[in-house]
């Protein structure tokens, strides 16, 4: 991360705390690493993002059913899914600092540092030459070419080592590249070992009889084991999907980047069951549909890109990520995977129950293929919040902090202010507030000057502020101030409901997808 990126990211984190979006979990006990709590504004923003996903995926699709399965599942589930044997991270310890690292992250960070050197060369040259042809510079400058060749060499070695499951070679890359421990500064490394990411606990009251169960590391398996229940009771015909949102748990070793990588997080997943042989067509369909969904939030088309997986998981025949430009660079936001019939077949084998679909058009039974869309709700929250936070310089030199959230997901749709706390203005303002809160998340504020109240609402992303003044008592009109333009209009109180509905309703976003 460059110093500038780091500053922006720090600003996002402190804004989250200052305005009640996110707190460190158990903060009074100095916190729990990579676990966070959502505060009064954050919980509503998160709920609104989840609602938008649910409505787009479930409410707007006749052939997608939404479910809500338990976090605890029969332990055999995780044997069948492969998580017990293969849900591992390669870890390495530094013998001097006794700190443990993910070997792949050490190598990736090392490559990022070389990339940073390239960026510095490009930046320097862009200031020196005008006009500046960046592509030409990158392909001809000796130093940049050398750095790029180094990155390519490490990438090749590393992906081959991962493909071969060769942990000695992973360690050798760390040694050859002279990667040091960020704490001790030494190169005194242990061997690389695999470490399972699942949290376990025991079920049952008597310890001898208790059995080990896992906190689910993904919500997907709850869908697979219910495939036939939903298909039969919902009379679903292929192609159809099953969606759910819920908590997932992973014992992440590299816990950093705030809510980007957490130990307890929330996923929004959909498994789409298709006829074998049609999966690539549906994979392409869901890639486009999901990218469009993200873009509909209006954070900027340029902030998204696809990243195809080179190393496919053993069960996948195609996989990609939708990456988002976070303050620390492009990183995975959502995964789209063509998972073949792997999961259902594994569950058939381990449970001894048939998980097949009778296709009446083909007059044939088969195990469906699956295309999965899987997005992290907390990561999406970070994407939305970090790209909406702006510092603006106003006319006259004043500054304001504004959170330009998409209005449909903002914690409050509007704030109501009486201009002064007398002359019957609070009573009328309260009446408007009480009428509108049946349909919209509203907030009421009568403390401080109106200017200060505007600033408070700007900082939490409230798209509209409505001020009740003396004229309101005479003609039943109010001033409505727009968050992004700061423009103020006079509108009738009777028109507020339809205005808020039009400008802040989720229906508008859903229509943009149609």
Site residues, ligand GAP (CB under 6 A):
218, 220, 250, 252, 261-262, 265, 267, 269, 332-335, 372, 374-376, 378-379
Q: What is the rounded distance in angstroms from the CA atom of residue 364 to the CA atom of residue 425?
A: 71
Q: Residue 212 Cβ, how far from ligand GAP at the closest point, in Å?
A: 21
- Of 34 and 408, the one with the shorter C-beta distance to ligand GAP is 34
Nearer to ligand GAP, 244 or 267 (CB): 267
Minimal distance in Å, beta carbon 264 to ligand GAP?
A: 8
Least separation, in Å, of the C-beta of 265 and ligand GAP?
4
Classify residue 330 by burial, with Cβ atoms within 10 Å: 0-12, 13-18, 19+.
middle
Contact 173, 161 (CB under 8 A): yes
Nearer to ligand GAP, 341 or 469 (CB): 341
Distance, in Å, from the CA atom of 370 to the CA atom of 297, rounded to the nearest integer, reads: 27
CB of 263 to ligand GAP, least distance (A): 7
Checking DSSP bridges between strand 464-468 and strand 414-418, what pairing results, if any? parallel
How far does CA 325 lie from the centroid of its chain? 12
Q: Point out the residue whose Cβ comes nearest to ligand GAP.
A: 376
**Residue 375 to residue 404: CA distance in whole angstroms:** 22
- As a whole number of angstroms, the distance between CA 172 and CA 92 comes to 12
CB of 131 to ligand GAP, least distance (A): 39
Nearest approach in angstroms of CB 496 to ligand GAP is 37
Q: How far is the CB of 92 from ligand GAP (least distance, A)?
A: 19
Name residue, tokens 């709590």: 37
Distance CA 271, CA 378 (A): 20
Q: Is the Cβ of residue 111 or residue 254 nearer to ligand GAP in the bound state? A: 254
Residues 239, 210: contact at Cβ < 8 Å? Answer: no
Residue closer to ligand GAP (CB basis): 250 or 294: 250
Q: 265 vs 328, which CB is nearer to ligand GAP? A: 265
Kindly give the interhelix angle for 3-18 and 377-388, rounded to the nearest 10 degrees. Answer: 100
In the complex, what is the shortest distance from the CB of residue 294 to ligand GAP, in angstroms, rounded to a whole number?
A: 12
Least spacing, CB of residue 217 vs ligand GAP, in Å: 7
Specify the pairing of strand 318-326 against strand 36-38. unpaired
Taking the C-alpha atoms of residue 265 and residue 35, their distance in angstroms, rounded to an integer, is 8
**Residue nearer to ligand GAP on the CB measure, 269 or 445:** 269
Residues 6 or more apart whose Cβ sits within 8 Å of residue 215: 71, 72, 198, 199, 200, 201, 249
The residue (of 108 and 252) whose beta carbon lies closer to ligand GAP is 252
User: Which tokens belong to 411?
Assistant: 């914690």
Range list of H helices, 19-141: 40-54, 75-80, 83-86, 103-128, 134-140
Alpha helices in 27-67 (DSSP H): 40-54
Return the SS3 of 306. Answer: strand
Nearer to ligand GAP among residue 224 and residue 454 (C-beta): 224
Contact 477, 379 (CB under 8 A): no
Alpha carbon distance 198, 84 (integer Å) = 8
Q: Give the residue with the Cβ less far from ligand GAP, 250 or 481.
A: 250
Shortest distance (Å) from residue 278 CB to ligand GAP: 21
Task: Give the residues across from 489 on adjacent strands.
Answer: 480
């Amino acid at each position: 991360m460059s110093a500038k990126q780091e500053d922006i990211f720090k600003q996002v984190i402190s804004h989250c705390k200052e305005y009640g979006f996110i707190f460190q979990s158990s903060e009074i006990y100095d916190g729990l690493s990579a676990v966070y709590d959502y505060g009064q504004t954050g919980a509503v923003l998160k709920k609104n993002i989840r609602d938008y996903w649910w409505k787009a995926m479930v409410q707007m699709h006749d052939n997608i059913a939404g479910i809500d399965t338990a976090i605890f599942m029969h332990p055999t589930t995780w044997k069948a899914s492969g998580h017990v044997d293969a849900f591992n991270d390669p870890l390495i310890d530094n013998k001097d600092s006794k700190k443990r690292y993910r070997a792949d992250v050490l190598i990736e960070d090392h490559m990022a540092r070389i990339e940073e050197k390239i960026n510095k060369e490009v930046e320097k040259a862009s200031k020196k030459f005008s006009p500046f042809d960046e592509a030409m510079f990158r392909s001809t400058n000796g130093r940049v070419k050398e750095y790029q060749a180094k990155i390519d060499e490490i990438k090749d070695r590393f992906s081959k080592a991962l493909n071969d499951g060769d942990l000695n070679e992973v360690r050798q890359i760390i040694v050859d590249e002279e990667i040091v421990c960020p704490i001790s500064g030494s190169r005194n490394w242990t061997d690389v070992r695999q470490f399972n990411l699942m949290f376990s606990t025991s079920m049952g009251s008597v310890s001898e009889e208790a059995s080990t169960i896992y906190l689910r590391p993904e919500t997907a398996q709850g869908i697979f084991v219910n495939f036939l229940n939903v298909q039969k009771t919902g009379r679903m015909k292929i192609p159809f999907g099953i969606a759910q949102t819920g908590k997932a748990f992973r014992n992440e070793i590299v816990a950093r980047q705030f809510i980007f990588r957490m130990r307890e997080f929330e996923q929004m997943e959909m498994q789409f069951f298709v006829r074998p042989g049609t999966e690539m067509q549906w994979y392409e369909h869901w890639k486009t549909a999901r990218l469009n969904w993200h873009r509909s939030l209006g954070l900027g088309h340029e902030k998204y890109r696809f990243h195809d997986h080179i190393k496919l998981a053993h069960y996948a025949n195609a996989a990609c990520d939708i990456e988002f430009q976070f303050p620390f660079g492009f990183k995975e936001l959502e995964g789209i995977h063509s998972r073949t019939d792997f999961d259902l077949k594994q569950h058939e084998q381990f449970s001894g129950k048939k998980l097949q679909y009778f296709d009446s058009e083909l007059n044939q039974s088969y195990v469906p293929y699956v295309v999965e869309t899987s997005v992290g709700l907390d990561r999406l929250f970070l994407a939305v919040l970090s790209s909406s936070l702006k510092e603006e310089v106003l006319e006259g030199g004043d500054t304001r902090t504004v959170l330009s959230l998409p209005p449909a997901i903002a914690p409050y749709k509007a704030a109501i202010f009486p201009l002064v706390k007398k002359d019957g203005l609070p009573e009328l303002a309260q009446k408007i507030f009480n009428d509108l809160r049946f349909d919209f998340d509203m907030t009421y504020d009568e403390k401080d000057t109106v200017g200060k109240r505007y600033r408070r609402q700007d900082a939490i992303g409230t798209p509209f502020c409505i001020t009740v003044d003396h004229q309101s008592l005479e003609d039943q009109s109010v001033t409505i101030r727009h968050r992004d333009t700061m423009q103020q209009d006079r509108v009738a109180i009777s028109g507020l409901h339809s205005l808020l509905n039009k400008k802040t309703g989720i229906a508008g976003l859903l229509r943009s997808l149609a």
